[in-house]
Amino acid sequence: MAHLGVGIGWRPEIADAVDRLDGLDWVEVVAENICPGHLPDALQRLRERGTRIVPHGVSLGLGGADRPDPQKLVALGERAVALGAPLVTEHIAFVRTSSPVLEAGHLLPVPRTRDALAVLCENVRIAQDALPVPLALENIAALFAWPGEEMTEGQFLTELVERTGVRLLIDVANLHTNRVNRGEDPAAVLDAIPLEALAYVHVAGGVERDGVWHDTHAHPVPPVVLDLLAELRSRVEPAGVLLERDDDFPPEAELAGELAAIREVVTAAAREAVPEPKKTAAVPHTGVAARAATEPATEPATGPEPQTGAQPGAGAQPGAGPQAGAGPQAGLGPQAEVAPEPGSNPEPHTGLGPKAEAAPEPGSDPEPHTGAGPQAGLAPKADAAPETGSNPEPHAGAGPQATSPGVGEAARTRVALGQAALLSALVAGTPVPEGFDRARIRVQVRALAAKRADVVAKVAPELPGILGGRAPYRRAFLTYAKGRPMTAGYRRDALDFAEHLLIQDLPADPAARRRLTAWWRERAGARPPRRIVRWARTLAGRAA
């Protein structure tokens, strides 16, 4: 792995500050918030200056029961090629279900079970074979634990690496989050995982409320997280350490101070002897990404020509356009009750302009990183693996159907049922599945709704103004969101919210209603739905 150094998460709101930061070695960008053919000028300047840029994805949902969406994999690969990135990163999480079709809008933990591990491993292999550069996966922050888990986090991550050869992105702030919220020992995780597979490290701030740690990415990095960074550095020298900040951005001097504190921790720990990391028998992977991993990383990795490059205009291919918000932790710490936002999380800072210029990837927007998105307008709207046991061996070859079998469909079905029951309880108001901590699930429900409201306000910043301010907007949106789970992206959600208000002859002020009607028409079509459609949707809403 090439040396990266100390970096920061690039967000449009701090683009100028990032451009001026002294000694900045590299940046990470939310992959779904950029368009390969139309990089923001500030990001392009960094690239021309030789600053390494790593795309950080938030929408693949590799921990989900479904195989990864090929279009999303193509889109992520295109961004890696466009940025000359040495690798791409994603998360060990699920973000949606397909039956029923539900979007979480956030990164949710996968159960640490044999079934879930088998599904994750096959999904990772599919992604590795499709991507032009190596893949690294991040441990996420969690508010709740799954009942009936069979492994610790350390065991789960170790087996994942051994069976796929994937690299790890260790977020020490997430280790602290899980210590507070789930009683897990960060040192035990660091002792157990194969540190030779470490790609780089994330550091971020959060806040504790009522005994729950919220990984907000909107607060300064606390000393306890820097202590965990030192703990990790005492075991291994990471190729890179990156500061994540996604909302409530401080003055440039404060960002520089946080980066200096990170450098000091890494440098101070380096003065002590670094023991040899524990070796594991990582299984070789011979797909496209694995081959790239064996080549020198000093030069930007290259890959196949993008297949769906987004061109300005309505004809953008799926997967090519910037996402409205994309980032998973940002804003919603383990389930921060007040989402800062957006990747996550990301949240696009750009408005939902009429006539989208680039269509978002299908089903994306899991959790935008606060303030992430290049002037994105609103876009209107694996083959099955052979059945085997739940412990597939990694396959060699260039595609998902390479030489070794995939995970059994029965395991995928079991994982799908569990994830669907949980996500439905979180976003659709169905009963909480047996065995979960109901109090924590309630906190998660509030957090997801709050984040959803915050992200939509960033995707469509005109809406709070039309509705009379942030407070009236928030009340109206949370009322709308009850029983109306998100099934597509945040842009679609903004349109559906506006349509919901208009069907009910809201807002009450005629002038505001005319403004909302004009806003909706510019983005959704030439005319509002016909009376029969409005009537049917009203009945459906009451039934929900």
pLDDT tens track for 109-132? 999 999 999 999 999 999 999 999
Q: Give the residue numbers spanning the domain of 511.
A: 460-544
Q: How confident is the model at residue 406 (pLDDT cuts 50, 70, 90)?
A: low
The percentage of residues in the chain with a pLDDT greater than 70, rounded to a whole number, is 71
CB 300 within 8 A of CB 319: no
Q: What is the pLDDT of residue 533?
A: 54
For residues 27-56, give the mean pLDDT.
96
CB 333 within 8 A of CB 213: yes
CA 71, CA 259: separation in Å to the nearest integer?
36
Q: What is the pLDDT of residue 135?
A: 99
Provide the total of helices (H) and of strands (E) in the chain, helices listed first: 17, 14
Task: Point out which residues pair with 8 in neighbouring strands.
Answer: 27, 243
12 DSSP 8-state letter:
G
- In-domain check, residue 161: no
b/e map 116-139, b = 16+ CB within 10 Å: bbbbbbbbbbbbbbbbbbbbbbbb
Q: What is the pLDDT of residue 275?
A: 56
Which residue did the predictor score with more confidence, 432 or 353? 432
- In-domain check, residue 138: no
Amino acid of residue 318? P
- In-domain check, residue 345: no
Q: Is a pLDDT exceeding 80 seen at residue 429? A: yes
Q: Is a pLDDT exceeding 60 seen at residue 413? A: yes
pLDDT tens digits for range 453-475: 999 999 999 999 999 999 999 99
Amino acid of residue 419? Q
Q: Is a pLDDT exceeding 90 seen at residue 191? A: yes
For residues 32-46, give the mean pLDDT.
94
Length of the chain: 544
CA 56, CA 90: separation in Å to the nearest integer?
6
- In-domain check, residue 519: yes
- In-domain check, residue 494: yes
Q: Is a pLDDT exceeding 70 seen at residue 43? A: yes
- In-domain check, residue 511: yes
Q: What is the pLDDT of residue 355?
A: 42
**Biggest distance spanned by C-alpha atoms of the chain:** 74
147 DSSP 8-state letter:
T
Q: Provide the mean pLDDT of the chain.
A: 81
Q: Tokens in use for 415?
A: 């994982």
Q: Is a pLDDT exceeding 70 seen at residue 344? A: no
The Cα angle at residue 71 between residues 389 and 405, in degrees rounded to 5:
15
Q: Is a pLDDT exceeding 90 seen at residue 506? A: yes
Q: Is a pLDDT exceeding 80 seen at residue 317? A: no
Q: Is a pLDDT exceeding 70 seen at residue 150? A: yes
Which residue did the predictor score with more confidence, 540 or 419? 419
Tell me the backbone φ, ψ of residue 9, rounded to 5 degrees: -70, 120
- In-domain check, residue 493: yes
- In-domain check, residue 172: no
pTM listed for this prediction: 0.75
Tell me the backbone φ, ψ of residue 107, rounded to 5 degrees: -80, 120
For residues 184-207, give the mean pLDDT.
98
Q: How confident is the model at residue 328 (pLDDT cuts 50, 70, 90)?
A: very low
Q: Tokens in use for 1?
A: 């792995």
Which residue did the predictor score with more confidence, 539 or 309? 539
CA 312, CA 39: separation in Å to the nearest integer?
12
The set of long-range contacts for 224-228, using a CB threshold of 8 Å and a minimum separation of 24, is 224/176, 225/172, 225/173, 225/176, 226/261, 226/262, 226/265, 228/172, 228/173, 228/175, 228/176, 228/186
Label residue 258 left, alpha or beta by phi (over 0 means left) and psi (-120 to 50 means alpha): alpha
Q: Is a pLDDT exceeding 90 seen at residue 274? A: no
Q: Is a pLDDT exceeding 70 seen at residue 332? A: no
CB 106 within 8 A of CB 95: yes
Number of domains within the chain: 1
Name the CA radius of gyration of the chain, rounded: 22
For residues 291-316, give the mean pLDDT.
37
